[in-house]
Structure formats: structure tokens, C-alpha cells
Structure 1
Amino acid sequence: MNKMVSLLERLKGKSSSTKKVSIALLEDAVYCSFDNNVESFSVKEKGWEKTLLKLLAEEQYANSSIVIVLGSHHYQTYQIERPELPEEEWSVALPFLLKDLIAERVSDIVADGIALPNSNKIQAYVLSKRVLTPLLAILEKSQVELDRILPEDEVWGQTHQQAEDFLLLHQSAHSNFKINAYVGRDICFHRTIRGVSAPLTGPQASSLQIDGLALEMQRSIDYLSSQIKQAQFHKLFICCDDEVDEELTSALEERLSVKVGTLMDEDKRCGEVLSHYALGAQYHVNLYPEHLKPKKEFFTLPVVAASWLIVGLVMLSYYGFNEYQIRNEKTKITRLSDQSKVLKTQLSELKTMLGEHKPSPNKLDAVVRIEKEIKAKEASLNAVGQFDNQKQVGYSGIMSALSRLGRNDISLSQITISQNTLNVSGLPRTPSAVPGWIKQFRNELDLVGRNFEQLNIGRNDDDIVTFELQAKRGGE
């Protein structure tokens, strides 16, 4: 059980780790960027392996994820024809495609590449396992996870946020001057300038050395202008550890055909810049590809044992729960069986009592006859009640409605009202007054809906206009 708890704690610790660290391995020092702070550790006395091991021994780096930036002295570069393969397979195929260009065996190198802008070639980076193997051993001993390995040429392309097409002159301590050219922040050209040694500025300033550097750079600029037509290189940035960048900028701007400026606003060393920007962008090159990473063994002995223990506990719990349910169901069945026996006994007794209390046929016939008499009397009462309601309500409403329709041009002489009929006769002033008076019926609730069966308009013996109106309740 304790092993299981420790295993879960260890897995939890790995999954919750979010620390990101970038380390640049340059010729002069190991640079480490962590929590936006960059520190440098000289490799002059101990070498980069012991320096890195001592650095990662600090507790703050435990269980962290590491990105390594390699200086150009740790790897080689080649330009070859673009392979007819998907880019995700280049890291596997490139060692075989480069076997004729390198002295080492295919199994002793790691390679990756990136397509050159507007070209059918790629820039291939080759890392010897003589560098990779001790690096992996140090990281494993320090209990940190290696995320990826980047060549410095790729990181330099992401260090200037405003410019996408530019030239870069950089020089880290104890190394040569290097020129890189970038199109869309992807490298398309790199060159190491030999024969020019730093420093060129400061107390040991040498105009002749600067002239030599400017000459080599101008040759590179002219070459790029003739070979890469889709990009215009009008800007050169400088980042040199052993130089006063402002002095070198002024000196080169006087000698070159492009505008020259410093890469960083503040005075920063190359290792500080590389380690800082290694975590800030998505890179297409990785010299530690997925097929080299150790496969995670999910079915280790502790994991399998813990799994079986969990399965056993689940099955035991399920068995106990089922036993409890079965015991409860058996109790319910016993109780219901007893109730069933009692109810069957009561049913038998009631059937016996029912047989003793059967009514005689004469009584049943009397019940049927009495029910028929009750239904007939209820029908008579309903008819009488309907007639009384109509008498009490209907006639008074009609008379009130006729009185409200009184006019000066019509005089009623006789009104006859029954349950379903309304007959009216009288003397109109003119024959045309009768239709207008009848139209007013629709405004009275007690008169609306009457169907007029007959309307007679004529004159009596005294030549006076008379009318008779016979109406029926609507729908009857």
C-alpha cells in the first residue's frame, strides 16, 4: 500500500511540473534562463559537462523541462537537396542522406533540417552523439526532462521582433565572427569569418581589422543580393560579446552599403539573448527528435501491482455489495410471502361471505325498475327547470331590449312572445323606418341571433302604414 501511495505521489509530481528552463552551451560559458533571470557559468576550468552537472544539481531545477541551445561549435551544417519525404520524417532520413558528407557512422549522429526560403534545398543540422550522449546522461542524473535541442542559428532568427528579412553579425566570447542572413526569420545563409580576431574596438581598436571584417561582410552582402532576389537586405544587426557594439556599428556603417544597428537595446551577451529567446517561439528544428526520447513504460511492475490491487478492491467491494443486496431481497421476499398467505386467507373468507349474501332475483328486478323511474323523473325535472329559467330570464330581457330601441318614427301596437318566437306589429311613420329599426337588434344581446321568417309592411283601412315582424330564435 505504501508503494502504491509513493507511486501516485511521484506521478502527481511529474504531471504538476510546469518549470521551463533554457540553457545555452557556448564556447565561453553555460547560460541558464529561469524565471526571466539569466545566469552565466564559465566553462574555462571545468568544461561544459561538469559545469552543467553542477548547475542542475541545484534543487530549484528538479523536475523541470529543459530546452538546450547549442553553440555552432557543437554541430555541423550542410545544404542538400530537399528530400521527397514529409518534413516529420526528415529527422529519421537525414542521417542516411548525409552519410557521404560526414566522417561518422549514420548511427553515431542525429540530424534535422529546415527548408530554405524559395529554394529546393534544405539547411541540415548534424549533431554527433559524442555530444548528445553525455548531455543526456547529465540530464538523467539531474532528474530533469529534455524537451528539445536547438542550434543557435535557428534561435538567432527569432531575436528581432520587428524585422523578418535581415543580416546578423554575432560573436560570442572566445569564438569567431559569424554572419547569418534570414528571410522571414528562417535562415538562408551563414558564414564564419576567419582571419579577423576580436576585439576590434575599445583600447585595442584596429582600423585595419575592421576594414578586413567590412570587406568580408560586403562580399557576403553582394553574394546574397545576387542569389536571393525575393528579399532585400537593408538592415544589419550586431551582437558581439568582445566588442563595444556602438563603436563597431558606427565603423561598419561607414564602410558598408546597408544600415547597421545593434540587435538589443541593452548591452547583452550572446548567451543571454539565446537562452532568453529559446523559450519564446515555435521552432521547426529539433536535434532531440521523438524517436530518440525514452518511451514511457506505463506497465511497470509497481503500476501493474497497483492496478491488480485496485481491481481486487473493486471486485471485493462489488461482491460485498451484491451479497448485501441479495440478503435484503430475500428478507423482502419472505415478508411478501407471509403477506400473500394472509391475503389469500382473507380472500377465501370474503368469497364465502359473498356467497352467503347474494341478492334474490326479485330484488334485482326491483332495483332496475326503480333506477328507470328515477331517470325518468330526473328528465322531467330538467325540462321543467329549463322552462322556468327561460320564463324568468328571457321575456324580461326582450322587453327591456325593445324599450331601449324606442324611436319617434315607429310605434309598437302588439308584442307576442313565446319560448322560441317573437312577433311584433306596429305603425311606422314611413316604410323605410322598419329596416333601420330591425338593424338595431344586433346591438342588443337578447335580440341578436333572431331569424326573421316574415316581414309584412302595408296600410290599414285608414290608409296608415303598418308592419308585422315574425322572428324565431336562431338555430331553432
Structure 2
Amino acid sequence: MLPFRKKNNKSKELVAIHIAPEGVAIASASVVAGLRKLSYVAFLDVSEPLNNASLVASEVSEVGLSDSCCSLVLSTGEYQLLLVEAPEVPKDELKEALIWRVKDLIQYSTDDVIIDFFELPDDAFRGRRKMLYVVAADRKLIEKRISWLESIKLTPVYIDVPEIALLNIAENLSESEAGTVILYLDEKQSIVNMMSGSWLYLSRALSYSHSAQLDNTVLDLQRSMDYFESQIGKSACTRIIVLPLQIGETPLMMELRRNLDADVQSLDLGDVIESDVPLAIDLQQRCFLAIAAALRNEAGA
């Protein structure tokens, strides 16, 4: 079974796919001078894409991406992300031990789950037991997604989740030791990543509509920033970066600026990544996760 985050992908061309109810986001990046550069980005308005593989396959073939290595980004509800204490076992036994550690926390049976994990920096614990994030998903769902990717003539190499895909962009935005909040907005479930330098220290999901609950979004960000400073012991957050690109002064942007003591920005991908494709606002908003997943660097863990 494919890992969620495979190390050292050496393919020259990487295609990332994110499936939404209204269509499919596709982004492709090639390696130029050791870094990923976008070569293709599109959103395909395909009704029920999982039942219309031929339409997606036609686009993949037409733009010359057939047989490329591919990453699939899972959507909200297709996985669980859990922060758990790391078992004291040899590393080659860690996944097996984690299955039993999370068995009462996941919505799948131990026979039907596939898991992977990613570790936090050593200074994230302040003398407490070491913790790590476990990603869990239904094995049957993953197998169906892999079969679908193969049916559109792509070669699956790993499965990704939004929290980790975002790091491919965010790790270059958090160069100082001062804390940075990465807020990824989605109407069903937004994501808060708390970073220092290029490292992720805390990730939270906001399981409500941010546009309908502005006050809750502001309050949850404030709580996360307080926890980051008081419990994890990192420097105070000085920047909040809102993704994907927001158009003008939205109500949320105004509320964040009014209530939080940090520089609130929204990010135009065209300013920070190399791309052969003009990254219009609508394209960034609809394809952000696919773009982020396609930008995995050569040493990405």
C-alpha cells in the first residue's frame, strides 16, 4: 500500500490530483534546477468525476501527462488526523504499534485502516513525552482511488493530505523563528498550521464554515496562537497567512486584522513559485491543494 508521504521522489514530472464534488483539480510540476516548477494547472468541471474517469483521462492524455507519477490529495472526510503519544518501539515496528494506539480513536477497524505518521520537531514537547501525527484512512477507499488514478493513465506514487501538502508552500514562508500561522480556508473544514522556521509544530482543523462563523474562526486562531506560545514555548506568532488568495478585504480578513495582534496577509502564488501557467485568482482558489501537492521537493519527507 502506498505511504501517505513517500520520501525522495525522484520523478522529473509529478502530477497532483484533488477530487472535489464539482470536478477535478490537476497540477503538474517538473524539476528545474533542483526545484519544482509548475507546467500545467487546470480545473476540470466534471460532474461526479469518480464515475466519469474517461473524461479526465482524455484531458490527461491531451496535455501529455499520461503515465506520469501522481499524488492524490484526500479531501475532508476521507481521512483522520490524530495527535498521539509516540510508542517506545523500534522505528520499523512503529506503524504496527500506532495501529493499536489509535484503534479506539479511528472510525475504521484495524483490518480496514491504512496509516502513516509524521513527527514533530524535538523542541515541540518541552520535556513531555514525544508526540506525532497519525494519518488514518479507509483502505478500501484508498484502493478505489488508486484504481481510479490508474484508469486515467497515471501512476500513483503516494497519497497526500491537505495539512502536509500545504507545507510544500508554507515551509518557504516561515524563515524566521517568530511564529507563523498558515490558515487554509475551506467551507467544510479549514486548517490551521502553526509553524516556526520551516517546521510544523501544531495543526488544527476548524470543522465549520469560516464564512458563517467569523467569530469562532478568530477565537480558534487566538487560542491556537496562545497555545503555541504558552504550551509549546515558541516565539509569538507575528504573521497570519491566509490561503488560498483572498480577493480584497473580505469580512474574515478584516476581523483577523481587527482582533489579532499579527500581520495578516493573503498569498498570491504567482509571487512565490515558478510557473509556466498564469495563476489567475480563480485557478489558485480551485486548484490550491493540487498545486501544493505538485510542488513537493526532491527531499520531501
The aligned residue for residue 166 of structure 1 is 180
Q: Secondary structure at the match of 1:72?
A: coil
The reply on whether 1:192 has 2:186 as its aligned counterpart is: no
Q: Does the 8 Å CA contact 1:81/1:121 hold for their aligned counterparts? A: yes
- Which amino acid in the other structure matches residue 230 of structure 1? K
Deviations 1:60-108 (A, max 9, x none): 3322211112223321011111123454554444323322222422121
| Matched residue type, 2:237 | F
1:62 is aligned to 66
Indicate the residue corresponding to 2:110 in structure 1. 106
Preserved contact between residue 196 and residue 212 of structure 1 (Cα < 8 Å)? no
Counterpart contact for 1:237–1:261, Cα < 8 Å: yes
**Are 1:41 and 2:81 an aligned pair?**
no
The answer for the alignment partner of 1:77 in structure 2 is: 81
> Would the aligned equivalents of 2:183 and 2:240 in 1 still touch at CA under 8 Å?
yes
Q: For the Cα contact (< 8 Å) 2:115–2:136, is it kept in 1?
A: yes
Q: 1:103 to 1:269 in 2, by over 3 A?
A: same
Counterparts of 1:146 and 1:153 in 2: how far apart (Å)? 20
**Does residue 232 of the first structure (1) align with residue 236 of the second (2)?**
yes
Match of 2:98 in 1: 94
Tell me the secondary structure at the aligned position of residue 149 of structure 1: strand
Return the alpha-carbon distance in structure 2 between the equivalents of residues 264 and 166 of structure 1: 17
Bigger relative contact order, structure 1 or 2 (CA pairs below 8 A, ≥6 apart): 2
Structure 1 counterpart of 2:239, one-letter code: K
**Bigger proportion of residues as helix:** 1
Any stretches of 5+ residues in structure 1 without a counterpart? 1-16, 201-208, 285-476
5 Å matches for 1:259-408? 259-264=263-268, 267=281, 269-280=284-295, 281=297, 282-284=299-301
Q: Which residue of 1 aligns with 2:191?
A: 178
Q: Point out the structure with max Rg over C-alpha.
A: 1
| Correspondence for 1:31 | 25
Which amino acid is 1:244 matched to? Answer: I
SS at match of 1:74: coil
Deviation, 1:153, is: 0.3
Larger deviation: 188-197 or 215-224?
A: 188-197
Cα distance 1:279–1:177, how it changes in 2: closer, same or farther (>3 A)?
Answer: closer
- Work out the CA distance in 2 between the residues paired with 1:90 and 1:133: 23
Q: Secondary structure at the match of 1:182?
A: strand
Unaligned runs of 5+ in 2: 1-10, 30-38, 271-280
Partner Cα distance (2:288, 2:12) in 1: 22
Shift of 1:155: 1.4
Give the number of equivalent residue pairs.
255
Q: CA deviation at 1:26?
A: 4.3
Instruction: Tell me if structure 1 keeps the 8 A contact 2:162–2:289.
Output: yes
Q: Give the SS at the match of 2:192.
A: strand
Q: Is the 8 A contact 1:116 1:187 kept in 2?
A: yes
Cα root mean square deviation, aligned:
2.8
Q: Does structure 1 retain, via aligned residues, the 8 Å contact 2:74–2:159? A: yes
Shift of 1:273: 2.9
In 1, Cα distance between equivalents of 2:266 and 2:106: 36
Alpha-carbon distance in structure 2 between the residues aligned to 1:30 and 1:87? 37
Partner-residue secondary structure (3-state), 2:142: helix
1:171-205 CA-to-partner distances (Å, cap 9, x unmatched) read 23x4233322124444332333355443x7xxxxx
**Residues 407-422 of structure 1 aligned to structure 2 (within 5 Å):** none
Identity %: 21
Contact 1:64-1:145 at 8 Å conserved across structures: yes
Measured in 1, the distance between the counterparts of 2:53 and 2:237 equals 38
Matched residues in 2 for 1:78 and 1:107: separation?
18
How far apart, CA to CA, are the structure 2 residues paired with 1:245 and 1:111?
Answer: 40
2 CA distance for matches of 1:33 and 1:225?
A: 36
Which residue, 100, 119, 123 being the options, matches 1:115? 119
C-alpha displacement at 1:122, in angstroms? Answer: 0.3
Partner Cα separation in structure 2 for residue 84 and residue 30 of structure 1: 41
Q: Does the 8 Å contact 1:41/1:51 carry over to 2?
A: no
Question: What is the TM-score when the length of structure 1 is the normalising length?
Answer: 0.48
